[in-house]
Chain A
Amino acid sequence: MKQTPLYNKHVALGATIVDFGGWAMPVQYTNLIEEHHTTREKAGLFDICHMGEIEVQGKDALKLLQYVMSRDLSQEKIGQLMLAVITNEQGGIIDDLTIYKRAEDRYLVVTNACPKDKDLNHLKKAKEILNLSNVIITDLSDQMGKLDLQGPKSQAILQKFSADDLSQIKFYHFIETQLFDHDAIISRSGYTGEDGFEIYMNVQYMPKLWDELLEIGAPFGLKPIGLGARDTLRLEAGYMLNGNEMDETTSPLEVVYSWVTNLDKNFIGSEAIRKQKQEGLKRKLVGFEMLERGIARHGYKVFKNGREIGIVTSGTLSPTLNKAIGMAFVPIDVAKPDTEIEIQIRNITAKAKIIKLPFYKKKF
């Protein structure tokens, strides 16, 4: 298994280590539920060094990205990041990612860990198709590290550390700055539904950044948080997970990503997605909560009036709401909030109710 530069620190902290897409990652340090609440109430620090970073640079960088990303990036400003998906020619999702505009001719594409190489190949293929020889695509994943600092105390903690006025960074914006005299990118963004930052630096500074943040953050209640709580936090916030809610057979229109899919432009997969839209979608991703005892899990079957109609993509006990919640694919005609469905949990079927996403919304 691959290790991040912080692997030994996780082990020293007593973390339970799991295989996450070929990476040895901490799933929890002490207690998942406590880690979840710490992030919602105070602040949590996440090792996200396993994720991929790809630089796209050159005069025609935007032209290339427009042909690969579902989102219209023409209005993106320097210092802004945007969420988009990459689809295959059949319109199925390869990855959901964020695109940081660093200069008119320079972008940083941040990918999920597992599909990174696919994303890279996809970008290279598009470069060939469009014959954009001036665009240079560089995989920076081995050089760039990333920590997520998430939770209401995040700004107060990072401000102790940074000469910049962090309150000036708006949501889904970033600054290029320095932390302890070394280059850093700090964006106000994340995957928890809380205020917070994603911090990028060269991997060699990751151990120092990790240690210093934990030390400075300790009086604020900052703790390291594992992937277990990252999953419950993202699910409550209604964020999807590549591999659970989407794979290469999933259309962005079926999931929550229709808003990042612009069919007025052409990109790899757009033709197929237009066709799906014309023909009408058959299924949709919805949120649900259990009305009867039991916790729905990934892969459990969904029924309506005794007939199998869909499948659970994620499910857990929500530590914030103290309810069993989840997401599932169901036929369009069942997808309305308050519709009752049944979920097969081992030998029984338990009632659940479709509810509008997200399950949890932070009041800023």
Chain B
Amino acid sequence: MSKPNPTTNYRYTKDHEWAKDNADGTAMIGITDHAQEMLTDIVYVELPEMGRKIKQGERVAVVESVKSVSDVYAPVSGEVIAVNEDLLNHPEYVNQDAFEKGWIAKIKVSDSGEFSKLMDANAYNTLIKE
């Protein structure tokens, strides 16, 4: 069973990424619990380069299961200021805890208005139930 999607500060994309507004001009990003469940065993995560500037909707990372390769698109625009290097040796963190331990990158957000274009937990829950 999927874990509940966090409500406070979390926003979602239709491609199953999340962005957590840290309320200090930065955001954590990752893939949702629903996404990791569909991908099953994640065995490899390709992280973005530090300092890279990304636009909302651009490929920012790649997650791979044994069978599949999936692009992760940036939920918000900005600059990559930290990456979760733990995932290099422990890609399974994404399976175990997609919303916290499985974060992929920290972004210095260039347009905080983009958050409002993303789905809240209610809207996302409706999407994945369809």
Report A's interface with B, CB cutoff 8 A. 27-28, 31-33, 36, 228, 231-232, 293-295, 297, 316-317, 319, 324, 346
- Complex Cα distance, B43 from A33, in Å, reads 10
Whether A316 and B62, one on each chain, are in contact in the complex, defined by CB atoms closer than 8 angstroms, is no
Whether B64 and A27, one on each chain, are in contact in the complex, defined by CB atoms closer than 8 angstroms, is no
- Complex Cα distance, B65 from A27, in Å, reads 13
Distance between B41 CB and nearest chain A CB, rounded to angstroms: 5
Whether B64 and A295, one on each chain, are in contact in the complex, defined by CB atoms closer than 8 angstroms, is yes
* A295 proximity list for chain B (CB < 8 A): 43-44, 64, 69
The total of interchain contacts (Cβ-Cβ below 8 angstroms) comes to: 36
Report B's interface with A, CB cutoff 8 A. 40-41, 43-44, 46, 62, 64-67, 69, 88
B91 and chain A: residue at smallest CB distance: A317
A32 and chain B: residue at smallest CB distance: B66
Partner of B69, one of A27, A36, A232, A297: A297
Q: A293-B88, A294-B46, A346-B62 are in contact. Are A27 and B41 (CB under 8 A)?
A: no
Whether B88 and A33, one on each chain, are in contact in the complex, defined by CB atoms closer than 8 angstroms, is no
Whether B40 and A31, one on each chain, are in contact in the complex, defined by CB atoms closer than 8 angstroms, is yes
Q: A294-B46, A295-B64, A346-B62 are in contact. Are A31 and B41 (CB under 8 A)?
A: yes
Identify 22 residue pairs between A and B in the complex whose beta-carbon atoms are under 8 Å apart, listed by A's number. Answer: A27-B67, A31-B40, A31-B41, A32-B40, A32-B41, A32-B65, A32-B67, A33-B66, A36-B66, A228-B66, A231-B67, A232-B66, A293-B44, A294-B44, A295-B43, A295-B69, A297-B69, A316-B67, A317-B43, A317-B44, A317-B64, A346-B62
- Complex Cα distance, B64 from A31, in Å, reads 14
- Complex Cα distance, B66 from A297, in Å, reads 10
Given contacts A317-B44, A319-B66, 5 further A-B contacts (CB under 8 A): A33-B41, A295-B44, A297-B69, A316-B66, A316-B67
* B67 proximity list for chain A (CB < 8 A): 27-28, 32, 228, 231, 316
Partner of B46, one of A32, A228, A346: A346
- Complex Cα distance, B44 from A324, in Å, reads 10
- Complex Cα distance, B65 from A324, in Å, reads 12
Interface centre among B41, B62, B67, B69, by most chain A C-beta atoms within 10 angstroms, is B67
- Complex Cα distance, B64 from A232, in Å, reads 15
- Complex Cα distance, B40 from A176, in Å, reads 41
- Complex Cα distance, B65 from A231, in Å, reads 14
- Complex Cα distance, B41 from A32, in Å, reads 8
* A346 proximity list for chain B (CB < 8 A): 46, 62
Distance between B1 CB and nearest chain A CB, rounded to angstroms: 13
- Complex Cα distance, B65 from A319, in Å, reads 11
* A32 proximity list for chain B (CB < 8 A): 40-41, 65-67
- Complex Cα distance, B40 from A295, in Å, reads 16
